[in-house]
Amino acid sequence: MRSRKSSPSKWLFVGALITLSVGGYAKFKPAPDPLAKAWGMSLERNLDRLPEEGTLDEKNFPWADARFPFAEGSIANRYQREDLPKEDRFTRRGLRLDEIKALSPASRTEELSKHAPSEIFDLVRGYTATYPLTNEIRRLMAKAKSARDLAELDEKMSFGWAAAATSMEEPALRTNYKIRFPEGTEATLSIGSADVKGLAAYYYGVKVPNLVKIAKVGSRCHGANDFSCHGIDPASFHVLLTNMIKRSGKSFVADIDPSAAIDYRPIVGYTTAVRAEDDGSGYAVTTTVRYAKRRLPSAKPYGFFNLDSENETYKYVLETDKSHEITGGRWLSERRPEFVWRVKELPHVDHDGFGVLKDLYQEAPLLSPALSMF
């Protein structure tokens, strides 16, 4: 009787078929998109399916930058004291407890509410003798020996603002915020919107920037001879811009002017004009990008004024494959972004004594134009 065992040659043939089948599947499996991996989200790359214009929904607009430059005292600046000479606004010492007690309740509210954001933060924590955050900022200013040193500090504040503004609702103006000093004296303060904005920018940008989790594409370049530079290419920029603003409805951040100090700006909208090159080599693209504006600090929230923006126009060429998937490109504009980033996760405000910031922060409603800043 003949055995039912299969011959070795038969199993070798079947194994070869399986190997070829698996190999064929692997060959046609789409390669992972390195840009999507770096950005941490799936991305549409087909030029035909990418919208040629987009603007964030009003509720997703980042709040405008309330500028606190270190050359003017940063958040140690009493920005509401327009009656004082500019230098006095960030060099005057905060009121001591005995001076606070000597004021009437109404004068106490008026005087303390117009202290600098850092001074208010110190007061809320009961530090009327030492003002630790205010003095910390003054020490940073004293160590800054050049304009470059100040620019580096401003860059940190810019990072903190952009991180907070793209992740949090605009802070409200808090009125009737009551504080009680350790020995029993009470005061009622107004906590300005810019006070909380400045404190948040300082916390995320100066105190704990390494704890802010971001996705980043591209890098800062230092002139034409910086051969280690890997600035963002136009294909990646176009894919991220159209996916984030129109498809995801979320802002992200760009350093808009590589010729100057780093200037982070959240992107809020764009329009593109796409034209096929005559020689079929690609598509000529002109893109106007809208960025969040910078404004002077205001105790009141900016509200609908956050919807104002500034524009920057970039020109570049995009290359695609036969399916119109974007595969590459080249910049035509000299002035263009070098890198972009988005916040993946903000740390809690529980480090370095900043926990009380949670109590100061309150979301501002989206104001109607008639009720906004002015």
For residue 10, being part of any structural domain is answered with no
Q: Do 220 and 134 lie in a common domain?
A: no
| pLDDT tens digits, one per residue of 151-210 | 999 999 999 999 999 999 999 999 999 999 878 889 999 999 999 999 999 999 999 999
Q: Are residues 43 and 170 in the same domain?
A: no
321 & 309 share domain: yes
Does any domain span residue 314? yes
In this structure, the answer to whether residues 152 and 287 fall within a common structural domain is: no
Give pLDDT tens digits for 27-66: 444 567 999 999 999 999 999 999 999 999 988 999 988 8
CA 249 to chain centre: 15
Q: How far apart are CA 85 and CA 312, in angstroms?
A: 35
Query: Residue 326 in contact with residue 320, Cβ under 8 Å?
Result: yes
Q: Using 50, 70 and 90 to split pLDDT, how confident is the model at 121?
A: very high
Distance between CA atoms of residues 65 and 201, nearest Å:
9
Please indicate, yes or no, if residue 69 is contained in any of the structural domains: yes
pLDDT of 31 reads 62
Give residue for tokens 């952009």. 162
Same domain for 184 and 301, yes or no, is: no
Say if residues 315 and 284 touch (Cβ distance below 8 Å): yes
Residues 221 and 257 in one domain: yes
Distance CA(46)–CA(242), nearest Å, equals 11
The radius of gyration of the chain from alpha carbons, rounded to an integer in Å, stands at: 27
Domain co-membership, 276 together with 338: yes
The answer to whether residues 192 and 322 belong to one domain is no
105 and 192 in a common domain: yes
Is residue 41 domain-shared with residue 179, that is, in the same domain? Answer: no
Structure tokens at 1: 């009787």
Same domain, 50 and 79: no
Does any domain span residue 172? yes
- Give the C-alpha distances (Å, rounded to integers) separating 184 from 77, 132, 163, 177: 28, 21, 38, 16
Whether residues 207 and 352 fall in one domain: yes
Residue 157 covered by a domain: yes
How many structural domains is the chain composed of? 2
Q: What pTM does this model have?
A: 0.87
What domain range is 71 assigned to? 65-211+348-371
Q: pLDDT > 90: what percent of the chain?
A: 73
1 in a structural domain = no
Asked, for residue 14, whether it belongs to a domain, the answer is no
